[in-house]
Amino acid sequence: MLAETLEGVQFSPSKRATYLRLVLAALAAVIAFKTFWFARWGGWTDRELADFDAFHIVAQRVWRGDVDQVYHFGALLKMQMEAAGGTTGFMPWTYPPQYGLLLAPFALLPVGVAYLLFTTATLALYLAVLRTISGANFALALVILFPALVITIGSGQNGFLTGALIALVCLNLERRPLLAGLALGAMVIKPHLAIVVGVYLLATRRWVALATAAVVVLASSLLCTLLFGWQIWAAWLGAIRESASYLEQGSYPLYRMISTYAALSKAGLPASIAFWGQVTVAGLALLAVLVGTARGTSSRFALGITVMLSVMISPYAYDYDLPMLGIGLALILPDLAGLASPRERSWMYGLILLAGAYGLLQSARLAAQVDPSRHFTPAIGGFALMALLLLLLKLLWSRGQPAPARPQTAQQRL
């Protein structure tokens, strides 16, 4: 079975070391290649823009004092065409102003160097916290997550940063709730991925962490208001409204999304039905959080399930958000053998691999300048995550308390 094959990685120290070296070497090679690509060295002088290019454009507008213009899609399209030196695919901008402020220092560097610094720093942070959480399961987690990690590197996206922030919430929640709250508050850069964790903190009465997160959000919002003016919030809300119509019209690359909405929409269902399908899945995800806290599972397992469900709430979730799901997987792995059969674990690992590998395939097609949108390209990642949600609900509902896990080392404890 797939589970036995993958889990065999962790039983031999020499095998673990070999897999770790191979995965890390492959990730380093992809970063080096993409650094040349973003820097437009060699044969990539004329290329389409990618996600980090959009980050760099926004960072430049912060220094020019007109960052509110990136929330007006017509103005943003002109900026992106200027950066590309011609026509390019449009990337709407709906991040809160706090993320633009975070990106501002990268405008002081050429785009290739900025990409290298951003990606290596966030990846290093992500791998550090993933190793702390997963312990002896680190190699196993890396193998399962490998396609998702490559996707995130390839686009220069922030999946490593958001995954690391949620991991810091989990690592500090028990003993350092103030630090956990700071990390949760920093998720204001991508708030829809923090909803489920916020519900978990409410259900478990983590008032210090919640209060600290609220202070971070309010303080950072005040800072953005002072720097950018009140108009920044009206511009941001306008962009969100406009992006909703983009999503309904299918103007986003839905085949790269991992949401229920994208899966149902690409399957040919009307936008209204896809929307209610997303609402249903979000409701089931929140139900799973409550079940996990009420059924007597370990706090680590319940928190891991919560993190895995965090990428299933919003209709706007992409394959580069999957590193966060990996943090949840690392949390539940110690209890998983006592809760799930080898067949169930095989399905779980396979669904995560499928979501990442499918996104990697579509990224490769785009890199080869084959536009998947011209053909029928289903959003397989969304279906994979729906199946994963049902599997997690089954485990929570039917198993209850997991079998006692082996004693953990200090590195494995939260």
For 16, 338, 398, the CA distances from 403, given in Å and listed in that order, are 25, 5, 13
Average pLDDT over residues 291-299: 79
Average pLDDT over residues 118-122: 98
pLDDT greater than 90 at residue 282: yes
Relative orientation angle of helices 322-339 and 138-155, to the nearest 10 degrees: 160
* pLDDT tier at 406, thresholds 50, 70, 90: very low
Q: pLDDT tens across 95-104, in order? A: 999 999 999 9
Residue 250's contacts (CB-CB under 8 Å, 6 or more residues apart) are 265
Average pLDDT over residues 28-36: 95
Residue among 111, 108, 97, 110 at smallest CA distance from 54: 111
DSSP 224-262: HHHHH-THHHHHHHHHHHHHHHHHHHT-S-GGGB-SHHH
CA distance 281 to 401: 24
High-pLDDT (> 90) share of the chain, % = 69
Q: Which two tokens stand for residue 73?
A: 């899609």
Average pLDDT over residues 61-83: 93
CA max distance for the chain? 60
246-267: burial string, b at 16+ Cβ within 10 Å, e else? bbbeeebbbbbbbbbbbbbbbe
Residue 189's contacts (CB-CB under 8 Å, 6 or more residues apart) are 95, 96, 98, 99, 102, 158, 161, 162
Kindly report the backbone phi and psi dihedral angles of residue 42, in degrees, each rounded to the nearest multiple of 5, phi listed first: 70, -130
CA distance 212 to 14: 43
pLDDT greater than 70 at residue 53: yes
- Confidence (pLDDT) at 367: 66
* pLDDT tier at 410, thresholds 50, 70, 90: very low
403/287: higher pLDDT: 287
pLDDT greater than 50 at residue 40: yes
pLDDT greater than 50 at residue 408: no
| DSSP code of residue 192 | G
């396979």: which residue's tokens?
Answer: 350
Average pLDDT over residues 33-57: 88
- Confidence (pLDDT) at 411: 41
- Confidence (pLDDT) at 296: 64
CA distance 118 to 114: 6
Relative orientation angle of helices 299-309 and 271-294, to the nearest 10 degrees: 170
pLDDT greater than 70 at residue 256: yes
* pLDDT tier at 229, thresholds 50, 70, 90: very high
Average pLDDT over residues 299-306: 92
- Confidence (pLDDT) at 414: 53
Find out whether 309 and 289 touch, Cβ atoms under 8 Å: yes
């993320």: which residue's tokens?
Answer: 99
209/250: higher pLDDT: 209
Average pLDDT over residues 276-297: 88
pLDDT greater than 70 at residue 109: yes
CA distance 298 to 288: 14
Average pLDDT over residues 203-231: 96
Instruction: Tell me which range, 64-68, 241-245, 370-374, is most confidently predicted by mean pLDDT.
Output: 64-68
* pLDDT tier at 15, thresholds 50, 70, 90: confident
- Confidence (pLDDT) at 1: 75
**In one letter, which amino acid is 156?**
G
**In one letter, which amino acid is 366?**
L
Average pLDDT over residues 306-322: 94
pLDDT greater than 90 at residue 366: no
Burial class (CB in 10 A: 0-12, 13-18, 19+), 118: buried
* pLDDT tier at 259, thresholds 50, 70, 90: very high
Radius of gyration, CA atoms only, the chain: 21
pTM: predicted TM-score of the whole model, two decimal places: 0.92
122/15: higher pLDDT: 122
Among 54-68, 321-335, 398-412, name the one with the lowest average pLDDT: 398-412
pLDDT greater than 60 at residue 165: yes
pLDDT greater than 70 at residue 85: yes
Average pLDDT of every residue of the chain? 89
- Confidence (pLDDT) at 369: 61
Kindly report the backbone phi and psi dihedral angles of residue 47, in degrees, each rounded to the nearest multiple of 5, phi listed first: -150, 160
